[in-house]
Amino acid sequence: METVIAKFVLEIYEPGDERTILAVLASEHPLAMAVGEFVHTGPLLPDAPKRVLVIERIENTFLLRKTGVEHKRMVFTRTPG
């Protein structure tokens, strides 16, 4: 039996906080990000103050759903500097 990845979810967390989610993006295609890259919050949160964050750590989780596997990527950030 072949397992199909049905959904990709990207959670971006507040700088230095492993519990507070800043933004969630869902996609039918993988979302690539790497440690050390910058995240600009403007497009993610148009009504909030614009910030630039640095990706500090990324964790991946795979969840089995009725529709297939959900790949959740948790992106932990810090402020630059």
Nearest by Cα to 14 from 23, 2, 22: 22
- In tens digits, the chain (81 residues) has pLDDT values of 566 667 999 999 999 999 999 999 999 888 889 999 999 988 888 888 899 999 999 999 999 888 888 999 999 999 998
Q: What is the pLDDT of residue 35?
A: 98
pTM: 0.86
Q: Round to the nearest angstrom and report the end-to-end CA distance of the chain.
A: 48
What is the predicted pLDDT for the residue at 42?
A: 87
Tokens of 22: 């800043």
- The pLDDT score that the predictor gives to residue 3 is 62
